Amino acid sequence: MDNKAIRIVIATKNEGKIKEILEIIKLKNISFSTFKEFGNWPEVKETGSTFKENSILKAKAISGFSKLPALADDSGLEVDALGGAPGVKSARYAGDNCSTPDNNIKLLNELRNIPVSDRSAQFRCVAAYFDLEGTLLVTEGVCRGHIALEPKGEGGFGYDPLFVPDGYNVTIAQLPPKEKNRISHRGKAFGAMKSKLEKLFSEE
């Protein structure tokens, strides 16, 4: 890689995700742009049936819109007792215009008769990079754990206050950001993406 800076757009308006991605992927000569630098930022419909399909769809759409390389992810919670739900519908589990508390309340209601021993679950994240040359990179990360009986913690976002990672007795929302990024699904997916981007740009 030469000294020319490479600009990549993060393909999300979720500021929690943006913050984590910026903390995880720190590479020399790479700068990141966000939706705040663009007008008419498009709402990309998540029409895929898998996290991988949605993440690629978002990366390609925002790369086309911005005329820059784009980095996207699709992620969510998969609860074993619910057959993998909410899955790709994690962000809209309680309905299209629902809030995070709405989703958390619905999840707790769905599990109200399920004991903690049977509340195993995992967070899954698929990250995708796409550029104008047609280069596509995809990585995935999974974090296993279980769903708590009630929300705890002020950190993180989404289902974090309900998710206790394996080996811990606190929720992800109670962990320091550095520790969360070390063990989380997004930390693993974007940690692997960081390595792929280093390799890609070192070859240029």
Active site residues: 74
* Separation CA 34–CA 37 (nearest Å): 6
Nearest Cα neighbor of 16 from 111, 158, 149, 112 is: 158
CB-based contacts of 202, cutoff 8 Å, min separation 6: 1
In eight-state DSSP terms, residue 102 is H
Please give the Cα distance from 140 to 186 (Å, whole number).
Answer: 8
Q: Which helix (H) or strand (E) holds 142?
A: strand 136-147
Do residues 157 and 175 make contact, with C-beta atoms less than 8 angstroms apart? no
